[in-house]
């Protein structure tokens, strides 16, 4: 099983990040964290990396249901969404497939939560790529 849902966008990095934020919001997700991996690696290691941001997306109702089903599932939250440049006018957007949670937990309520999260994340990615 692939652990990522992926789309490629024929647009620059910065506008794509904004489109991702909007698409996530439209699907009920807020962005709780943002890690500018490029800036962090430059600062800490002096390493050069293409533009790369990790957005920690969360749908509070889905997160609540998931944590109620399996309190340890918080280790896999929030849903990470990566946006990274693939050249000046191409950007890759990836979201972790929530089905990964189902493979790591025996909680019987979790498959329904993961399925709903997956539908919403896929809809957000589709909106970004259209």
107 and 70 Cβ atoms separated by less than 8 Å: yes
Residues 31-54 have pLDDT tens digits of 999 999 999 999 999 999 999 999
pTM, two decimal places: 0.94
Structure tokens, 76: 């896999």
**Domains parsed from the chain with CATH numbers:** 4-129 (3.30.310.70)
Q: Going edge to edge, which strands form the sheet with 91-96? A: 4-9, 91-96, 79-85, 52-58, 30-36
Other beta carbons less than 10 A from residue 105's beta carbon: 18
Structure tokens, 15: 């506008």
Other beta carbons less than 10 A from residue 3's beta carbon: 12
Residues 23-32 have pLDDT tens digits of 999 999 999 9
């Amino acid at each position: 099983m692939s652990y990522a849902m992926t789309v490629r966008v024929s647009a620059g990095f910065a506008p794509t990040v904004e489109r991702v934020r909007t698409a996530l919001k439209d699907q009920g997700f807020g962005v709780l964290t943002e890690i500018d991996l490029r800036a962090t690696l430059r600062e800490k290691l002096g390493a050069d990396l293409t533009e790369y941001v990790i957005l920690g997306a969360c749908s509070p109702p889905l997160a609540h249901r998931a944590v109620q089903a399996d309190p340890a599932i918080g280790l896999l939250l929030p849903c990470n969404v990566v946006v990274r440049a693939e050249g000046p006018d191409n950007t890759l957007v990836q979201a972790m497939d929530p089905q990964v949670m189902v493979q790591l937990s025996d909680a019987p309520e979790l498959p329904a939560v993961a399925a709903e999260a997956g539908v919403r994340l896929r809809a957000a990615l589709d909106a970004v790529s259209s």
